[in-house]
Amino acid sequence: MDSSRDFLRFATDLGVLRFGEFVTKAGRTSPYFFNAGLFHDGDALCRLCGFYAQAIKASGVQFDMIFGPAYKGISLAAGTAIMLSQQGRNVPFAFNRKEAKDHGEGGNLIGAPIKGRVLIIDDVISAGTSVRESVDLIRAAGATPAAVAIALDRQERGTGELSAVQEVERSYDMPVISIAKLTDLIEMLKADQAFANHLPKVQAYREQYGVV
């Protein structure tokens, strides 16, 4: 919990996590917005990937390598591999291109060979498209998708009664690890008077769209 709250405060300080009125891809008016693309300097990326490494280790999930789907997952995979290495766990990483090259090394995969148990790392899960494409690439290489690590789990319904994260867990029979969840965000708002004015709208949003 402390790590999750530290991460959320860090994201708020950088303006990655903001409060107001924002329209989501699903057409919902959300009282908060999370834009991981704003972790865009060396210090921010280093600290972000430190949070990923911490969440991954705490989960206890078993994996042999990291895969980062293009584009946001590329820097996350590399950065998290570096942070894990600094903590005594050296693992290979790979990522993909959006379009395959027909010269040089060719193909659409870059980095270490895809093999063993593969941890997918991305910023968030919205429609699950990135995860599905990653799973297909990993299985095509003869490897096994082991888990997905993301920064924030919004814990809200997708097209049905399940959240996008729950749909991924059910569809691929693998866990999704998150640095923080919407429930962690609500606890942070409750604990800090500076954010108290945002609490009612976030709670109301969770009551309307949230999942358990």
101 is catalytic: yes
Give the DSSP H or E segment for 178. Answer: strand 176-181
Among candidate residues 103, 115, 198, 201, the one labeled active-site is 103
pLDDT at 2 over 90: no
- Encoded tokens for 85: 């290495």
Q: Which of 25, 40, 98, 101 is catalytic?
A: 101
Q: What is the pLDDT of residues 28-85, one digit of tens each?
A: 999 999 999 999 999 999 999 999 999 999 999 999 999 999 999 999 999 999 999 9
Contact 134/98 with Cβ under 8 angstroms?
no
At residue 18, does pLDDT exceed 70? yes
63 neighbors 114 (Cβ within 8 angstroms): no
Report whether pLDDT(203) > 60: yes
Domain ranges within the chain, ordered by starting residue = 2-209
Catalytic-residue membership of 57: no
CA separation, residue 186 to residues 93, 136, 165 (Å) = 34, 35, 19
pTM (two decimals): 0.93
The pLDDT tens digits of the residues spanning 127-159 come to: 788 999 999 999 999 999 999 999 999 999 987
Would you tell me which CATH number, out of the four given (3.40.605.10, 3.10.25.10, 3.40.47.10, 3.40.50.2020), belongs to the domain 2-209? Answer: 3.40.50.2020
| Mean pLDDT over the full length of the chain | 93
Confidence at residue 60, expressed as pLDDT on a 0 to 100 scale: 97
Does the pLDDT of residue 106 top 80, yes or no? Answer: no
